[in-house]
Amino acid sequence: METDTRDGPVTKANVTMPETQTTPDQRTAGRASTKMSATDLNLWYGETQALHGINLDMPSQEVTALIGPSGCGKSTFLRCLNRMNDLIPQVRIKGGVALDGEDIYDPSVDVVQLRTFVGMVFQKPNPFPKSIYENIAYAPRLHGTGTSRSELDDLVESSLKRAGLWNEVADRLDTPGTELSGGQQQRLCIARAIAVNPEVILMDEPASALDPLATATVEELIHELKDNYTIVIVTHNLQQAARVAGYTAFFHMGQIVEVNDTDTLFTNPAEQRTEDYITGRFG
Amino acid sequence: MDKKTFTQHISQQYNEDLEHIVTRVMTMGGLVEQQLEAALEALVDGDEQKGEQVVTSDYRINAMEVELDEACTHILARRQPTASDLRLIMAVIKAITDLERIGDEAERVGRMALHLLDEDRRRSPMAEIAALGEQIKGILRGALDAFARMDSEQAVRVAQEDIKADAQYDSIVRNLVKHLEDNPKSVPPVLDIVWATRSLERIGDRSRNICEYVIYFVRGKDVRHISFEQMAEEATGDRR
């Protein structure tokens, strides 16, 4: 399959999710141990190839960390997992990314719907300039998953609870999300991501702008979310990958050098390039 | 040890910290060797001065263990080492524990030697014990050598030598038991000899432990509590 988005990004208007993928329950029923997988994935920005034949299985209800030096392609790869790269002009993708075995680049896939299944949390907390309540309620209202006020109230509460933020904001849901501390804002963004009931959460350096305490809180949250979601996290912080991830993939120059369970990768990596990177050698 | 182990970190300070630790381990190993040498001279030749020296010098080895433990703790806290760096620190932490215990065993040999100063050395199986002592010295030296060069194949050879030393120890103890049966009045001095021989055997075992840490560092495999054949295979076979 080859998807060329030079003529503009894929929009909701031209696609819908395949019928077999319309409800989370149906998708969950077929859950295998691999939630998402990339197969021989190549990506070009114009003439520059950024990803070279990436093959990676991301296990269900596990945290997979993507590590590697700047420019190695890990964030580019992460963005492929919910087609965020579709928004970038001149991106060309060849190869496959599957969610529960279904190709997410299939022309019949509704990208907006896809992104409710595969949510994203960014490096810099980016709450909407709205109240805490509206930050959570916005997407469910848009997607029609919460219509009545009481449904939305429940959803806001449960999402904030799952993100470990409820106790801190329950009495001030009407205050702007932007008034929270950095760590709280990031947990608000995670709550916003899980409000639409995703199955996979992508995190692009979710704690790099946070202090150590807020980082620890977010990492603890990741650990708890793992029981219900599949998480893929990009991080420059090797210790963070070691702390939160069950599996770690080392990217270098647009390729995956090594994927292994995190314990093995950090104690006895198979590849010299991995060893050099994680031990801080010149390589 | 491959110089690359220390020289290729982006942080020069990290290189120096690791190099310093390994240098100090080798210094500690040298001290332990000296202690064993002196203890054997005290035991085999009845050299009182050497015996006293062994008993009063052990504190230096203990102090080095404490110093190295602290240095390793600092590396763990400041650098959060990974991969071969982590395995190196783990190997050092474990090796210095064994080196300190080898020092204790050497001290015990020295103490027993002081008890036995007035004994007629021709009566006891001192020739066999001297031979065992030489064997154990070779094993300790070999283990330190394997550690210095991080040579897993050398580590296997040393472990094999320790198996031979264990057999030699068993033979000496059998002879001592027989001697006790024939000479019931000689129990106190013979027990001292048994203790000293036992300490020598333990030094061999602890040297073998150091060899196991060498294999852990080089191969990333934990070879403790497995057969010699399995250990040799892990140390020399394909890396995975």
Closest chain A C-alpha to B14 CA, distance in angstroms: 9
Which chain B residue lies closest to A278 (C-alpha atoms)? Answer: B82
Q: What is the ipTM of this complex?
A: 0.84
Please tell me if residue A223 touches chain B, with a CB cutoff of 8 Å: no
Cβ within 8 Å, pair B14-A280: yes
Angstrom distance (rounded) from CA A141 to CA A153: 11
**What is the reported pLDDT for A154?**
93
**What is the reported pLDDT for B239?**
58
* B83 interaction partners in chain A (CB closer than 8 Å): 266-269, 274-275, 278-279
* B5 interaction partners in chain A (CB closer than 8 Å): none
Cβ within 8 Å, pair A279-B220: no
Looking at the partner chain, which of A238, A270, A275 has a beta carbon nearest the beta carbon of B84? A275
3-state SS assignment for residue A118? strand
Which chain A residue lies closest to B219 (C-alpha atoms)? Answer: A268
**What is the reported pLDDT for B144?**
98
Give me the tens of pLDDT residue by residue for chain A, a chain 283 residues long. 444 443 333 333 333 333 333 333 333 333 348 999 999 999 999 999 999 999 999 999 999 999 999 999 999 999 999 999 988 889 999 999 999 999 999 999 999 999 999 999 999 999 999 999 999 999 998 887 767 899 999 999 999 998 989 999 999 999 999 999 999 999 999 999 999 989 999 999 999 888 898 899 899 999 999 999 999 999 999 999 999 999 999 999 999 999 999 999 999 999 999 999 999 997 6
**What is the reported pLDDT for A27?**
34
- Asked whether the predicted pLDDT for residue B140 surpasses 90, the reply is yes
Looking at the partner chain, which of B8, B220, B239 has a beta carbon nearest the beta carbon of A281? B8
Q: Which long-range contacts (CB under 8 A, 24 or more apart) does B218-221 make?
A: B218/B150, B218/B151, B218/B152, B219/B152, B220/A267, B220/A268, B220/B87
pLDDT in tens, B149-200: 999 999 999 999 999 999 999 999 999 999 889 988 888 889 999 999 999 9
**What is the reported pLDDT for B123?**
66
Angstrom distance (rounded) from CA A200 to CA A115: 9
User: Which strand (E) or helix (H) includes residue B137?
Assistant: helix B126-149
Task: Classify residue B148 by burial, with Cβ atoms within 10 Å: 0-12, 13-18, 19+.
Answer: middle
Instruction: Count interface pairs A-B at CB distance under 8 A.
Output: 40
pLDDT in tens, B63-103: 999 999 999 999 999 999 999 999 999 999 999 999 999 99
